[in-house]
Amino acid sequence: MFRMRIARRFSGNSGGRSLTAALFEFLQADTPNQVRDCLARHPELLGESAGALLSGFIANAREDGRLDIAVKLEERRAALALARARSVDADPARLFAEGDDQVRQIPIQARSLIAEIRRLGDDADADQRADLLRQAIASLDLRSHAKLGVALYGMLGAILAARSERAGSDDYEEAIASFEAARGHMTRKSDPDSWLITTYNLGKVFARRAAGIHAGNIETAIGYFTDALGPGDGQLPPDVQAAAQVELADAYLDRVSYNRRDNIEHAIACCNAALTIVVAAGPALERAKAHRILGRAHLERSAGTRAENVELAIRYLKDTGAFTRDASLDEWSDIQCQLGVAFRERIHGEPADNFDQAASYFNAVRYRGARELQPLAYAAASNGLGVAYVGRAGGDQSENVECAINCFEEARRICDDRGLTTERAAVLHNLGHAYIQRHAGNPSDNVELAISYLEEALTVRTEKAFPLEWAATQHELGNAY
């Protein structure tokens, strides 16, 4: 029935039958090489008519209740959109076989530069590919070659964003400018696939951006993710939808504006939406990402009971086995720290057992060599372990506070060495609290040290940038006085 409906769409239209045959060949390609060969034989598949035809196939499959086929077709539509956006998997002169670019010849300089990018491949040096893309863009009249400009700007943004992420850098300024330039030359109606992917990518880079005001970056990221997931022409492929929902959840958790309780509930709803897309048979890594965010959200959740939320957080965080120490060290370390926090905050169970569990998770991140290999994770684990010692119910209280101060000092040294100002402010807050609680030493000196740490923390934790943290440190400062 489904195939008959497809055939009827183009009966009596030889051009339509030819495109349909090429599209069926593309759908039957099983390997990346077969996909590339098919696109080389049928460059018309990179045109808008092929995308519209495939969208019709997807709509027919959904109408017939064949969701399994619809999902497979969505995956292939994403592959076509990616090939179209990259523009390196086909001859650039034939890439835009339809629309306004049809009669305009791509400049020879741009053609040769794109051919060189294609020759280098995805594994080439990112700086070299980015430089070639900048030259190619500069050689174009974007008023005449808007679609090609969109593709090149999108590629440049993706390369620069990936380079920053690999390097652990927060410098996404040129990536943002490239994505914004690409988005400025199209609309969701004119090129829905490219617009949606570019909008999603802008959300990702703003969520990771260090420049500017943190609160403003997060609001911008939420806006882009919401646009990419919202109704309108086209839609993101299912796997990208799931990823966007998880990214949006993470942004809601980092949000400093509006009601904190509402933000956490939004984050949980986004993760649950992602999990309805990434079903039990889906990729384990995507489920692990959603569970990781759900764990963090339930740790911070005020709705419901605290005991139940902590137990749910532990359950979600333990169900993230796809993040292993060997394959995903950063994510694994974050999960261990979150589990440490969960057991530190746990209400059920024996306090001594919970402390031991928390300490074991924090110390797992502080394994030998971790200080040099993962300084930020090491600092987070040291800070978390220090908080656990301050709140420890068993053992000698004076000794617990001294252990906590040692952990905080370790974390502070790393933050000083790495210029981690936000993280350093959190450690200074905890040091201030620890010195207020300290039994050893001169009480007057302890209070003065506590005040100095807390006041220094407030130089970063301003009311505008971090209102919740600012309020907590102000409260602690009041305790010191």
The answer to whether the beta carbons of residues 189 and 196 sit under 8 Å apart is no
| pLDDT over 90, % of the chain | 48
- Taking only the tens place, the pLDDT of each residue in 2-14 is 443 443 343 344 4
Q: How far apart are CA 181 and CA 174, in angstroms?
A: 10
Look up residue 450 and give its two tokens: 């506590």
Neighbours of 124 (CB within 10 A): 14
Nearest to residue 360, comparing CAs of 336, 376, 338?
336
Look up residue 157 and give its two tokens: 């943004």
Q: Which range (109-113, 182-186, 276-280, 358-362) has the least confidence?
A: 276-280
Q: Which range (11-20, 107-116, 388-397, 439-448) has the least confidence?
A: 11-20
Nearest to residue 431, comparing CAs of 478, 390, 378?
390
Can you give the pLDDT at residue 254? 92
Q: How far apart are CA 46 and CA 64, in angstroms?
A: 27
pLDDT band for position 323 (50/70/90)?
confident
The pLDDT of residue 75 is above 70: no
Can you give the pLDDT at residue 89? 34
Q: How far apart are CA 475 and CA 281, in angstroms?
A: 48
Strands (DSSP E) found in 109-178:
none
Look up residue 85 and give its two tokens: 């956006």
The answer to whether the beta carbons of residues 146 and 165 sit under 8 Å apart is no
Q: What length does the chain have? A: 481
Residues sharing a CB contact under 8 Å with residue 369, sequence separation 6 or more, in sequence order: none
The pLDDT of residue 86 is above 90: no
Q: How far apart are CA 395 and CA 400, in angstroms?
A: 7
- Taking only the tens place, the pLDDT of each residue in 170-216 is 678 999 999 999 999 899 998 898 899 999 999 999 999 988 888 89
Q: How far apart are CA 410 and CA 427, in angstroms?
A: 10
Question: Which residue type does 259 have?
Answer: N
Nearest to residue 298, comparing CAs of 258, 249, 333?
249
Q: How far apart are CA 383 and CA 387, in angstroms?
A: 6
Look up residue 272 and give its two tokens: 């649950």
Q: Residue 324: exposed, middle, or buried by beta-carbon count in 10 A (0-12, 13-18, 19+)?
A: exposed
The pLDDT of residue 288 is above 60: yes
Can you give the pLDDT at residue 87? 41
Assign 233 to helix, strand or coil.
coil
The answer to whether the beta carbons of residues 113 and 119 sit under 8 Å apart is no
